[in-house]
Every structure is written in C-alpha cells, then in structure tokens.
Amino acid sequence: MAMRDANGRQTSIQRIRTRVFQLIDRAGDTPKARQERAGRRVQQVVGVLGLKIVMAYCFGIMLVIHVADVRRFAEDNWNSRTKIETRRGDILDRNGVTLATSLRADSVSVDPRWVLPPGYLPWRAPEDPLPGAQLIDEAAEAEAVALAQEEKKPKKRDKSKSKTMKFDDPIAVQLRATVAKRIAEVTATPLSEVTERLAKPHGFTYVAKHVDDQAARALKSMKSRGLLPGVTIQPDWLRYFPNNQLAGALIGTDQSTGSVEQSFDRILRGQVVELVSAKDVSAIPLYYEGAPDPGLYGGRSVKLTIDEKIQAVAEHHIRQAVIEREADFGIAVVMDVQTGDILALAETSGMNPNDTDKPPVPFGWHNIAIENQYEPGSTFKVFTVAAALQEKVLKKDEIIPISSPVVIGSKVIKDDHPHSQCNWWQCLQVSSNIAMSKIAMRMKKETFGDYLIKLGFSKRVDTGLTGEGAGQLAWPPDKWPLIQYANIAFGQGIAVTPLQIVAAYGTLASGGVYRRPRLVREVRSPDGRHDEQFPVDPGRRVYDAEVAKDTLFAMASVCQPKGENSLGGTGTQARMPNYSIGGKTGTAQQVDPKNGRYSETHWVGSFIGVTPIENPRLVVFAAVDNPKKFDPKLGKVMRYGGAIAAPVVREIGRFALPYLGVPPSPGAPYLDKNDPEKARRDDEARRLAANKAADQLIKKDAIAQIGAQMAAVAGASAPELQAAAKAQVGKPGQTVGNAAVSQGNMATATGNDGQALADAQAPHAGDVRVPDLRRLPMRSVRERLHAAGLVLEAHGSGVGTVQGPLPGAMVPKGTVVHVNFRRMSDGTDVPQPVALNSNP
C-alpha cells in the first residue's frame, strides 16, 4: 500500500518511491497482488525442490542403465569365494581293504602380530603399510593424517576408532602367553614349542598340525568366544596308512618315486572346489547357495590288483630271507597268470609312509621293486629253450653234449655243475650254460632278439608307476658279438626288471600269450561318473601253446630231485605240499658299477616259479640281492637262487594257492587221492588256515608298530615292549579276525546284547574292554584303539558303522578289532545313525 496524502493522492516522492519499489519488487500494491506474487515465489521454490528430486531420479536411471560397469563390485560385495581342498582318494587293495586313506584333521596356525586384545591393530611404523590393509588412495591418506592430528589432541580421542599396540607391549606379551597356553593345553603340544612359535612377529606359522577332532572343536569354540585372537583353524587332511609298513614302498608318499601315491597323484588328488557364499560386510559367509557337494569333488580312489594278505606274506618271507642271508635287499613279486594282476610287489626297505621323519635305508624314498634292474642269469634260459622249441631248432630226441666248455675267442663258457650230456629239458634242469650257448647258436641273433622284444624286454611294462626301470638290451641283435649272444642266452649281458621277467614267465605259463601286468584294477570317483576300469590285457601270442607247455614241462623238471631220468634240478627247494611247481633258479653275477666289470662278490640269487604247473595260476618271483652270509658247511657264501630264493617262492605259493582257492595238483605229494571229501575239507581248512596265518602276520607287524610307539612314549626299549605285546597276543582263547566276526554274529543271534555276552565270558587278567567305535571317524577310532592297546583293521573309510568284537567285550591286548567304515556323501566325518543290530 502506497502512502497517500490527505486527498488520497500520492506525493511525487511517494510516487517515485512506489515506482522504485515496483521496479525492484513490484511492491506497493494490493494485498491480493502481493499474495499472488508470493504464491508465485512459493511455486518457484517448491518447483526447484521438485526438480531436484526429478534430477536425482534421472541419476538413478543412469545408474541402473550403467549397472554392467559396477556389477563386478557388487559380486565382490555379495559373494565370498572360498577354495577348499577336497579329500584325497583312497588306495585300496583288490578286495577293497584300505591301504591309504585321508582323515580330517585340522591344523592350527597363528599370526603372532595379531594376537592382540579386541579392537586393537598391530602397531606399525608410519611408513609401513598396515598389515592386512591397503592404503592406496589419497583420501584414505588424508583421513589418516586427520586421525593423526586428532590423536595429538588427547581429549578429542575417539574411543570407537581402533587403536594400535606394539608387538612387545606387556599386554600383548601376556596375551600371547595365555594364547600359547590355551593352544598347548588343547592340542597336547609342548608349551615351549608353542611359545617359541609365538615369540617372533612373523606373519604366519603353524603351531599344531593335524590336531584331533576334539581339539579342533574345542579350539573353534574358544575362537568363537574370542579367546584366541590371531589364531586360525584351517581345514586339513591327514594322510593315513592303516597298515604302516605293509606295501609301504609301493603305496609310498607323494614324495617317493615308484609309489602309487606319487604316480597316481593326479587321480588321487581332490579337486579344489570354489564355494560361493553370500557374505556380509565383515566377509562372514552367511549361507551357501547351490554349493557343490565337496564330497563329490574329492579325489578318485585307486583300486590296486595287490592283495593285502599275499603282499603281507610275500613281504614277510622275502624279509626273512634277506635277514637270514644278510643280503642287501630282496624283491618278491606274485602275478596272477590268468589276468596279469600283480598280487604282491614286495621289497624289504620297510618304508613306513606314516613315518616320514627319516628316509628308509638303503635307497631312501624309492620303490626298488619297480626301479631295480638286474642281470637275470639262469632264469633267462627258459626263453632260449622256448625260442629254440618254437623255431624247431631243438629236437626232443637229440642229446646235447655238455662235457666240454664252449670257447669263443678268449672267453670260455662252462657250467657250475658239470654233466656229460643232457636232452632238451635236462639242459634246463641242470642249468647248463654250455647247452644254452649251443642251442642259441642254432638260431639267428635277430630271431632270438625278436622273441625278447615280443616278451617285453627292454621296454617299460608301464604299470603307471613313475621311475619304472626299462631294462637293458643291446640293439640291434645282428651287431651282438658272438660272446655277448652266448651270454644273453643264459641271462648275462642283459638287464631286466622283476616285472618284465615275471610277465615273460607269465607268457609261458598262460600258453604262450603275453599279458601286460596290471597293477591298477580300477579308479573310482566319489560321484561314480568318472570311474575308470583297467581291463585285462587280451594278450599277444608269442609262443605256440605246445611250445609253452613243453617249456613248462622243462621248468617242472627243475624242481625234480635226482631220480630215474632226472639229473636232479637246481630248484628242488621250491617244492611244496599239495601243489606242483615249476620254475628256474638264477644266480647271476652283477656288474660292479665302480669298474664296469662283473663283480666277484655281488650276486643275485633268484627263483621264478610257476604254480601249479598243470594249470598255472601264479608266477612267483623272488630275488635276494648280494647275500653275504658265510656258510661254514659250504665254506663259502651261499648265493644260489635255488637255495636262497626258492624257499621264499615255496612259502609264498604255499600260502597264496590255498588262499586263492586253487585246487591241489593231482600229482603233488601229500594229496589224499582216495577220499575226495576229505580232500575238499582239507582244502577248506587250508584256506582258512592261510587266511588266519596272513592275519597273524599282519597283526605281528602291527604289534611291532605298537611296541615301537609304546617305546617312543614310555622311553623303554622297543624289544621289551614288543615281547610284552607278543605275550599278550599269545594267550589262548584270543579272538582275531574271523573269530572276532563270528563272536559278533553270536551276539546278534542272542538278542543283540554284546555287553551281556562279553560279561558272561570270563575275562582274563589284563584284558581290555573294546570301546564303542561306531559313529566315530577313523582317526578317533585309531586313537581310541591305540589307547586301549588294540589293533585296528579298517574296512572302507569314513565313519565307523559296524565293529567286531562288539563294544564292551573284554579282549586281550593286541587283539585285532575289525571296523567297517562308511563315508558320508559330503566327504566329512559326519556321524549318521547306524542300526545297532547290523551284521558285521
């Protein structure tokens, strides 16, 4: 409202002022106009704000359109990706007995720098980057500078900001001592060791590897309560070999050459599985969405052709021979003729893959049974005879004079056991070098060489094991000097591996068909989709069946004692009750690696047997390297294969044939031909006896192991404790193996009351109660049984399902407790309910 004078007119000054106001603000008018203008202003202000909302919304649209640019960050935010190492596959024998398995055993590591009270960070020098943090941008630096400025003013110090603590701060030192004490108590590690590990500010160190389940659980619960700052419990696997030394070098570790563990590492090794999980800002996985079942990504199991019991017997006897003859080492191989399966591949280093502290003597971490190659000597003569028969240069009615040595140049070939003459098979029986060289001369070198190649010599057998020897054979054969050819005819001047010569003998045993030896039967994957079968080699014919049969006849004569029409074979010690055997002894001079000449002292005595000779089932090889035992009766070192290796073959065959259920040979000694029923019963009894004997043998090794472990714990001498353990086992009424299982059956029959049955049996003094092992992982089972002085025989892997003897039974110490294990689908040892009346 403009001012007016008395007449209601505006003064000139007022009029100017009104105009000015109108120009500036268009004021000085009616309230209504003013109200309108004010309303327009309100419109403008509110419109600007509304526009801001719309603008922000447009930004939101742009963000959504360009979502691809930031999707990566979103994925990082939401998903935690953890790589987990899945379980390594088992190694099984041909019957599914576990030879190597993996047990869940977590490891405990610690970062000593982070052993600090909650809310504290490790102190760092200003120029060092904060461990675990990445200060990369200036903004963060600026913030750090601002923080530093604030820290100068103590009253402004904010409690919510993290503080730092030096490594040698008294609080940190005390906390480390507490943490070390907690870890040491739970994991039963020496306190001094843990304290030492925590003493230095290094980034990461293991304080305890492979702790047991209970300790891991306890540690995890302590960690969740914040009692173990800086400590990490990592999932880990412990490789465990239930049989310790049994097939030790063959199973080996992933560091030993020629071992299944190393050679089939790619099959056995579990895949690394990436688990994708939703996570929150503190990177704690919340739940797994469509996570792969880690059990399905575990390593594949390798099922070998090895038979645990035959292997145990072979190892036992070859070890006995080596000890008796004071030899360097010995090798024994058992092959199934019909399939080419290697049933046993024994050597005597006594490698125990569970104990990797010091390498075994004398070869370290090597499987000598695979790597070894040696000059076969006389065992090679059968191939000369067979080739000559095949080439029809050896007549069955001719007589070969062998009285005078063969002279080739300056070299003279002569026999150890001189005879005047021999026929086609006697030359093998008496192992005549002269006869062999003469027979060989009738063939072309190339012809003979071709037979050797067909038999697989100088070529790796290719069982899949690393470091396998290939043997040595000079090539081409037409370049052989005559003396070398003659030497090769009786097995000198050529190097073979045990598997090669076993396979070549197998050729003769299977009617002239060469089959590649097989060591791996099949590979099984956890999900069953990547299984692999290794079929039996169909074989290739090398000799006619007739030739092979004739050669076997000649080999049988080697084991014949002196008699009518028999000059007396060199391998008579290989004969065994009930089963006929044929074979060939070998006593070969070895080349001294120092001077490249044949050594006068280094011999290998070997014997290769084929049994039973009528319908061959097994080829058994035994070789004892460098025997040094002086025999006072002979007045020299006994080194003949017929004396030192043939008994090993006999013992192995004596066990393995009944064990495999091979019917006794018709012409063999001790066979009761008149009463077939009795023969059958004897047969069955022999089979059971063989089984039991093998169990005893495996158990005896286990006792030695227990003794050693007890000695290690108690500090007493091992032999004493072994004797004590043996005394415990030797008690009458003990239950082992099948007996234990039958006891379990009885318990089931009498109303599933193992406890009552066990109580009813009068316990011996010093007997121990069998713990309840069901639903326990193998590791705990093993520990509990060891604590009780019992021996575990594990079947399968995973969680204990059925055991025999039943829990609560009183048994002598050292008793074998059979436990069936079943693995859960996810590869973990999650116990599942098990029906108590399951039949063991």
Q: Contact residues for another protein (CB under 8 A)?
A: 1-2, 8, 10, 15, 18, 21, 24-27, 29-39, 41-46, 49-50, 52-57, 59-61, 63-64, 66-67, 70-71, 73-74, 77-78, 134, 136-140, 142-143, 145-146, 158, 160, 278-282, 286
CB of 228 to another protein, least distance (A): 21
How many Å apart are CA 822 and CA 242, to the nearest integer?
Answer: 16
CB of 816 to another protein, least distance (A): 51
CB of 73 to another protein, least distance (A): 6
Q: Closer to another protein by CB, 8 or 538: give it.
A: 8
Cβ-count burial 142-158 (b if 16+ within 10 Å, e if not): eeeeeeeeeeeeeeeee
Are the C-beta atoms of 621 and 344 separated by less than 8 Å?
no
Q: Closer to another protein by CB, 56 or 835: give it.
A: 56
For residue 174, give every residue at least 6 positions away whose Cβ sits within 8 Å of its Cβ, in sequence order, or none: none
The type of residue at 426 is Q
CB of 75 to another protein, least distance (A): 10
CB of 293 to another protein, least distance (A): 24
Q: Closer to another protein by CB, 283 or 760: give it.
A: 283
For residue 151, give every residue at least 6 positions away whose Cβ sits within 8 Å of its Cβ, in sequence order, or none: 157
Using DSSP, state whether 412 is helix, strand or coil: strand
Can you list the alpha helix ranges (DSSP code H) found in 513-566?
A: 545-558
CB of 130 to another protein, least distance (A): 12
The type of residue at 739 is A
CB of 122 to another protein, least distance (A): 19
CB of 283 to another protein, least distance (A): 10
Query: What count of other Cβ atoms lies within 10 Å of the Cβ of residue 512?
Result: 21
Nearest to 300 by CA among 509, 122, 520, 131: 520
Are the C-beta atoms of 435 and 400 separated by less than 8 Å?
yes
DSSP track, 593-605: TTTSSEEEEEEEE
How many Å apart are CA 348 and CA 787, to the nearest integer?
Answer: 29
Please count the residues of the chain: 840
CB of 789 to another protein, least distance (A): 48
Q: Closer to another protein by CB, 5 or 564: give it.
A: 5
DSSP track, 626-647: S---EETTTTEE---HHHHTHH
Q: Closer to another protein by CB, 29 or 753: give it.
A: 29
Q: Closer to another protein by CB, 56 or 760: give it.
A: 56
CB of 143 to another protein, least distance (A): 6
Q: Closer to another protein by CB, 36 or 446: give it.
A: 36
How many Å apart are CA 752 and CA 183, to the nearest integer?
Answer: 42
Q: Closer to another protein by CB, 147 or 272: give it.
A: 147
Q: Closer to another protein by CB, 134 or 224: give it.
A: 134
CB of 113 to another protein, least distance (A): 22
Nearest to 778 by CA among 719, 711, 733, 823: 823
CB of 118 to another protein, least distance (A): 15
CB of 10 to another protein, least distance (A): 7
CB of 54 to another protein, least distance (A): 7
Q: Closer to another protein by CB, 13 or 64: give it.
A: 64
CB of 162 to another protein, least distance (A): 13
For residue 300, give every residue at least 6 positions away whose Cβ sits within 8 Å of its Cβ, in sequence order, or none: 89, 267, 268, 523, 524, 525, 526, 530, 531, 532
Q: Closer to another protein by CB, 164 or 745: give it.
A: 164
CA-to-CA dists, residue 399 to 384, 391, 428, 719, 797, angstroms: 17, 18, 13, 58, 62
Q: Retrieve residue 47's tokens.
A: 């419109």
Q: Closer to another protein by CB, 65 or 125: give it.
A: 65
Q: Closer to another protein by CB, 8 or 126: give it.
A: 8
Are the C-beta atoms of 651 and 317 separated by less than 8 Å?
yes
How many Å apart are CA 549 and CA 229, to the nearest integer?
Answer: 76
How many Å apart are CA 811 and CA 78, to the nearest integer?
Answer: 57
CB of 165 to another protein, least distance (A): 22
Cβ-in-10-Å burial (0-12, 13-18, 19+) of 669 comes to exposed
Q: Closer to another protein by CB, 139 or 760: give it.
A: 139
Are the C-beta atoms of 697 and 316 separated by less than 8 Å?
yes
Q: Closer to another protein by CB, 278 or 712: give it.
A: 278
Q: Closer to another protein by CB, 37 or 769: give it.
A: 37
Phi, psi of 361 (to 5 degrees): -100, 150
CB of 35 to another protein, least distance (A): 6
Phi, psi of 592 (to 5 degrees): -80, 120
For residue 648, give every residue at least 6 positions away whose Cβ sits within 8 Å of its Cβ, in sequence order, or none: 317, 318, 320, 321, 330, 332, 607, 622, 624
DSSP track, 431-460: T-HHHHHHHHHTS-HHHHHHHHHHTTTTS-
- Relative orientation angle of helices 381-390 and 545-558, to the nearest 10 degrees: 140
CA dihedral of 123, 129, 133, 136, whole degrees rounded to 10: 150
Q: Closer to another protein by CB, 6 or 281: give it.
A: 281
